[in-house]
Chains A and B, each alone.
Chain A
Amino acid sequence: MTSAESNNLYAASHSDDIINAKGIYKNFGENVKVLKGISCEIKRGERVVIIGPSGSGKSTFLRCLNLLEEPTYGEVWLEDKLVTPVDPYLHKDVIELSKTYCKLRNEYKPGIIGESEEEIKEKIIADIKKRDLLHEKHEGKAYKALMKKIYDENYININLARQKVGMVFQQFNLFENLTVMDNITLAPMKLLKMSKEDAVKKATDLLTRIGLADKANAYPVQLSGGQKQRIAIVRALAMDPDVLLFDEPTSALDPEMVGEVLDVMKELAESGMTMVVVTHEMGFAREVASRVLFIDEGVIMEENTPDKFFGDPQNPRLRDFLSKVL
């Protein structure tokens, strides 16, 4: 059911993956299938830009990474910790323990040409995935035990994981009832148990960096879109995240304000921040990205360095898309 395979990654892996999305599917209800198997690893220091046509699932994918949307299938790992339930289809050893597998193996009739045991196994597993045959309730004790073991050894509460994953929204979403200062200091004080003085000092430093220290006591309604978005970035930075997710951060801005926000983002990129950016700003993608993904119809259609991505696109749909936007 998915292309992403795990080779016992849950066995105490120490990769430098900050985000590892494995075989993400997302359905809304029965019929709306938005993501159809996306796998993506994001390493420390990478700046991944995601582009694609409207409605292709870019936001949905980004929001799956910090579980604002729960994937229907697949697993999300943040800093080698699992934040979604275990997806049995991603673990061959789990499937092999299932009653469904045992039944199919016993019933298996070898073909005329002799097949190796390994080939038979692959075939049955592929069949189980394709037909979505696993049912938690009927797979037996050994299956359940391994599922639980994987979960217990790797699971981390999403609220904890999110502290390290900042997000910047298209609509800014500054807290309307709080001043700029309180917007920035709320989470560090509440979650990192930072003292008020420390939090205020840190917020002031960050605000100074973006030239908005004089707005500390303003309320969001008193700010321009560009100012709001820069403060939203600072609010995320105040938690010292390991990665920042941006969902079309400049799309809701008046054209004259796009530059000031992109400048802050470029500065962040230069400082080594790991970033995942959904955007329509092709200039930004070329200049800042270390890798560009093209998502269309819920899958990654192409993935490359910006040079090759824009200079020599392979996928016809990407070529078509680029010819329209460039």
Chain B
Amino acid sequence: MSQNIWEIKWTKFWTSFIERGAYHKVIEGLEHTVIIAVAGLMIGILLGTLIAVIKVVPGKNPVMGFLKKICNLYVNFFRGTPMVVQLLLGYYVLFPLIGIKMSSLMVCVVIFGMNSAAYVSEIMRGGLLSVNFGQTEAGRALGLSYPVTMMRIVVPQAVKNILPTLGNEFITLIKETSIVSFVGAIDLCQAFRNIGASNYEFMVPYLVMAVIYIVLVLFITYLIKITERRLRASDKR
């Protein structure tokens, strides 16, 4: 009896997935999910590193002090509001106000990047502070400027130390993409919701969706492990 029900449910799903071509949408959704997470993380790392470097500048230079205040405000805003709110604000308020026309996918990339930057900056700041200050002093004593010393010596060592945490941030981003349908973007989650809605049958699509997310995250975890091993080359004796 119950087996029968599952069979019906599965057939319904399979029909729309293959025969009615819904798999196209799923693949597209998967693409968008990955694009938003990868591009978001890239922006997050670049912007987050910049924020972190500004935050750890020693001394009481007034210009730096001002920049530090702005960075704190930025980080507090993005960590203090839900991502959905940031997405809605970006899509319906910020970009229309400054008059930029962007696809909902692009808006998602930018907002995810800006959000991620706030979290990455805190991770990176910890990483920068974990690098022995002697490394900075040695660079500066040679005559290298502060930015060059940071970029060539301190940041690379910090990145190596925080790679596992950055990996977590990437996984978080992948999972968070499931909210992008709020601004009309189609991601993995939205693709499966559409399938479910098309035959009023949600159980199978949502189970399949969960499996795909898990596989995706496991795959990323594996990639991070490999990268980590590579970066640790300079630790080998």
Find out whether the CB atom of A186 lies under 8 angstroms from the CB atom of B152.
Answer: yes
Contacting pair A176 B135 (CB below 8 A) = yes
Set of chain B residues within 8 Å of A232, measured between Cβ atoms: 138
Instruction: For chain B, give the interface size range.
Output: 20 to 34
A162 lies within 8 A of chain B by Cβ: yes
Task: Give every chain A residue within 8 A of B236 (Cβ-Cβ).
Answer: 219, 221-222
Q: Is the pair A162, B142 in contact by a Cβ cutoff of 8 Å?
A: yes
> Could you say which residues of chain B place their CB within 8 Å of the CB of A163?
142-143
**Of all chain B residues, which has the CB nearest A220?**
B234
Q: What distance in Å separates the Cβ of B134 from its nearest Cβ neighbour in chain A?
A: 4
> Interface segment, B2-10, B153-161, B208-216?
B153-161
The residue on A at minimum CB distance from B237 is A222
Per the 8 Å Cβ criterion, residues 102-124 of B in contact with A are none
Chain A residues within 8 Å of B31, by CB: none
Per-residue interface assignment for chain B, residues 132 to 147, with 1 indicating a CB less than 8 Å from any chain A CB and 0 otherwise? 1011011111111100
- Report the nearest A residue to B139, measured CB to CB: A175
- Residue-wise, chain A 182-196 has the 8 Å CB interface mask toward B (1 for contact) of 000011001100000
Contacts of B156 in A (CB 8 A): 177
Contact check, B142 vs A176: say whether CB atoms are below 8 A apart.
no
Q: When A169-B134, A176-B135, A177-B156 are in contact, do A162 and B234 touch as well, CB less than 8 Å?
A: no
Closest chain B residue, CB of each to CB of A67: B140
A65 to chain B, nearest CB (A): 11
Q: Is the CB of A177 within 8 A of B234?
A: yes
Q: In the complex, how many angstroms separate the beta carbon of B153 from the nearest chain A beta carbon?
A: 5
Picked from B138, B144, B160, the residue with its CB within 8 Å of the CB of A191 is B144
Q: Is the interface of A mostly helix, strand, loop or mixed?
A: mixed
Interface string of A154-171 (1 = CB under 8 A from B): 000001111101110101
Chain A residues contacting B140 (CB-CB under 8 Å) are 68, 159, 162
A176 to B154, CA, bound (A): 9
Chain A residues whose C-beta falls within 8 Å of the C-beta of B134 in the assembled complex: 169, 171, 173
Assess the B142–A221 pair: CB atoms within 8 A. no
Please give the distance in Å from A93's CB to the nearest CB on chain B. Answer: 30
B residues engaging A (CB < 8 A)? Answer: 132, 134-135, 137-145, 148, 152-153, 156-157, 160, 233-237
Q: 6 tightest A-B contacts by CB?
A: A173-B138, A163-B143, A173-B134, A162-B143, A167-B141, A187-B142
Q: List 21 A-B contacts (CB under 8 A).
A: A68-B137, A68-B140, A159-B143, A159-B144, A159-B145, A160-B143, A162-B143, A163-B142, A167-B141, A169-B137, A169-B138, A171-B134, A174-B138, A175-B138, A177-B234, A186-B144, A187-B143, A187-B144, A221-B237, A222-B236, A232-B138
